[in-house]
């Protein structure tokens, strides 16, 4: 009989909407937690409507949230609750009493005004882990500033080291603050708090700042800066394009090959493979870098990306193909690691999503369900809470639930 996933039995209330929160709870859901999305019933109004776009078909908050293709909301159930109504609040508080974790990403102070702040919820359930994911955290002079990924990584110093010399910084999508510094750090904090609860018996507040997380990602970079006082500039350090042996090159077919031959033995292997052994002794000679880079650039344009990968990957050289998204699925390593999976969707639809990156040998995670429609599990959840079908239908007619 297969063992249960590691978070089986852990109940999570998910009040989040945008990238960091849903990614955090996706991780928990993939590892077996019972994640319940608490969503506002009815069509979006006000700013929700602007975010969703016309008829829910445009904008970042469109109906894609419930699309089976949306990996962020997989392994979750959905209940539609109007938290501003008496019945909706009653149901929510009953859910809180049975929950292990609550995750929200309101601006500081908003949850308290709604009556669902940490202190208010801890009275109901002192064992619950309460995680708030915000841009700048719950205190400090920036706590009330609005922002997005770009603003947080700029404040943290991350943006200052991204790009090429003489150019404006490179904007790295919203991968760093939203996903790595926000959602992933949130999941780590929750898991740590759950472990602590095993010893103390009590819950606690998990304050996740996307700016904090972005600063933390620079741990090694700051360590070097504090040690030598040298301010790194974009494109002028070994790890961001300053040296020819840690760089990207265009190939004959217009694609990109990546070279990471920093160590002397890897650099020597690269030079032998490219027929430029004379460069081996000049790896650290800055006066030769332009010449080496020009030779590499010219040489890599003589074959296709895949031809170069086939040659160099067999000679103990740090080399990688730059796959575009449409190529990732067919990469043999991605296939072997099951990082793109195909699932059965509604009405015979085949749905592809990213796989689970955390590989556990004895209690692996799994994708058990696709993103739910708003209120898809309201009846099921409320029956589990002890409400009758008649009560459920009455409150649905009143608009308190969906």
Catalytic residue among 30, 34, 178, 240: 178
Phi/psi at 317 (5° precision): -130, 140
Supply the DSSP string of 311-341, one letter for each residue: HHTTTT--EEE---HHHHTT-HHHHHTT-EE
Please compute the mean of the pLDDT values over residues 66-88 and round it to a whole number: 95
Residue 68 tokens read as 């089976």
CA 383 – CA 285 distance, rounded (Å)? 72
For the stretch 215-261, pLDDT in tens is 999 999 999 999 999 999 999 999 999 999 999 999 999 999 999 99
User: Tell me, what's the pLDDT at 54?
Assistant: 44
For the stretch 309-333, pLDDT in tens is 999 999 999 999 999 999 999 999 9
Residue 33 tokens read as 């937690």
| 58: confidence class by pLDDT, cuts 50, 70, 90 | very low
CA 398 – CA 393 distance, rounded (Å)? 9
At a CB cut-off of 8 Å and minimum separation 6, what does 168 contact?
none
Is 24 within 8 Å of 190 (Cβ atoms)? yes
User: Tell me, what's the pLDDT at 52?
Assistant: 56
- Fold equal for 11-217+337-397 and 246-328: no
| 55: confidence class by pLDDT, cuts 50, 70, 90 | very low
User: Tell me, what's the pLDDT at 65?
Assistant: 87
At a CB cut-off of 8 Å and minimum separation 6, what does 229 contact?
none
Q: How many CA atoms lie within 13 A of 374 on its CB side?
A: 17
For the stretch 30-44, pLDDT in tens is 999 999 999 999 766
Please compute the mean of the pLDDT values over residues 304-308 and round it to a whole number: 98
**pLDDT above 80 for 49:** no
For the stretch 193-221, pLDDT in tens is 999 999 999 999 999 999 999 999 999 99
The CATH label, of 3.20.20.60, 3.30.1540.10, 3.40.50.970, 3.40.1010.10, for the domain at 246-328 is 3.30.1540.10
Alpha carbon 254 to chain centroid, angstroms: 30
Task: Count other C-beta atoms under 10 Å from residue 132's C-beta.
Answer: 25
178 catalytic per annotation:
yes
Task: Count other C-beta atoms under 10 Å from residue 323's C-beta.
Answer: 15
CA 36 – CA 331 distance, rounded (Å)? 34
For the stretch 153-174, pLDDT in tens is 999 999 999 999 989 999 999 9
User: Tell me, what's the pLDDT at 42?
Assistant: 73
Domain chopping of the chain, boundaries: 11-217+337-397, 246-328
Please compute the mean of the pLDDT values over residues 253-272 and round it to a whole number: 98
Q: How many CA atoms lie within 13 A of 400 on its CB side?
A: 15
293 catalytic per annotation:
no
pTM for the structure as a whole? 0.94
Please compute the mean of the pLDDT values over residues 11-33 and round it to a whole number: 98
Supply the DSSP string of 58-94, one letter for each residue: SSTTSGGGG-TT-GGGTTEEEEEB-TTSHHHHHHHHH
Q: How many CA atoms lie within 13 A of 281 on its CB side?
A: 1
CATH architecture, domain 11-217+337-397: 3-Layer(aba) Sandwich (3.40)
Phi/psi at 352 (5° precision): -105, 140
């Amino acid at each position: 009989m297969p063992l249960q996933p590691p978070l089986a039995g852990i109940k999570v209330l998910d009040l989040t909407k945008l990238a960091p929160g849903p990614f955090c709870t996706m991780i928990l859901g993939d590892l077996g937690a019972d994640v319940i999305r608490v969503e506002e019933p009815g069509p979006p109004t006000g700013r929700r409507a602007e975010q969703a776009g016309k008829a829910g078909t445009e904008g970042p908050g469109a109906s894609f949230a419930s699309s089976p293709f949306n990996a962020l909301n997989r392994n979750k159930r959905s209940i539609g609750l109007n938290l501003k109504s008496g019945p909706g609040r009653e149901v929510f508080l009953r859910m809180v009493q049975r929950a292990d974790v609550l995750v929200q990403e309101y601006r500081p102070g908003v949850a308290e005004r709604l009556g669902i702040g940490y202190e208010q919820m801890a009275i109901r359930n002192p064992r619950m882990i309460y995680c708030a994911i915000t841009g700048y955290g719950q205190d400090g002079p920036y706590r009330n500033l609005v922002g997005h990924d770009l603003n947080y990584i700029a404040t943290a110093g991350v943006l200052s080291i991204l790009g090429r010399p003489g150019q404006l910084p490179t904007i790295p999508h919203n991968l760093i603050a939203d996903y790595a510094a926000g959602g992933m750090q949130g999941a780590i904090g929750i898991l740590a708090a759950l472990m602590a609860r095993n010893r103390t018996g009590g819950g606690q507040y998990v304050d996740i700042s996307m700016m904090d997380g972005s600063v933390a990602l620079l741990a090694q970079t700051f360590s070097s800066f504090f040690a030598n006082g040298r301010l790194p500039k974009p494109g002028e350090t070994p790890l961001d394009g300053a040296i020819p042996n840690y760089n990207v090159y265009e190939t004959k077919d217009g694609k990109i090959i990546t070279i990471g031959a920093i160590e002397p033995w890897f650099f020597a292997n690269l030079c032998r493979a490219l027929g430029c052994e004379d460069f081996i002794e000049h790896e650290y000679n800055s006066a030769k870098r332009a010449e080496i880079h020009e030779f590499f650039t010219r040489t890599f344009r003589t074959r296709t990306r895949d031809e170069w990968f086939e040659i160099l990957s067999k000679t103990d050289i740090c080399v990688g193909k730059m796959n575009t998204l449409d190529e990732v699925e067919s990469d043999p390593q991605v296939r072997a690691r099951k990082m793109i999976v195909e699932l059965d969707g509604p009405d015979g639809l085949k749905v592809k999503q990213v796989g689970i990156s955390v590989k556990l040998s004895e209690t692996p995670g799994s994708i058990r369900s696709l993103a739910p429609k708003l209120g898809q599990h309201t009846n099921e959840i409320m029956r589990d809470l002890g409400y009758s079908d008649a009560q459920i239908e009455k409150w649905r007619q009143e608009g308190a639930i969906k």
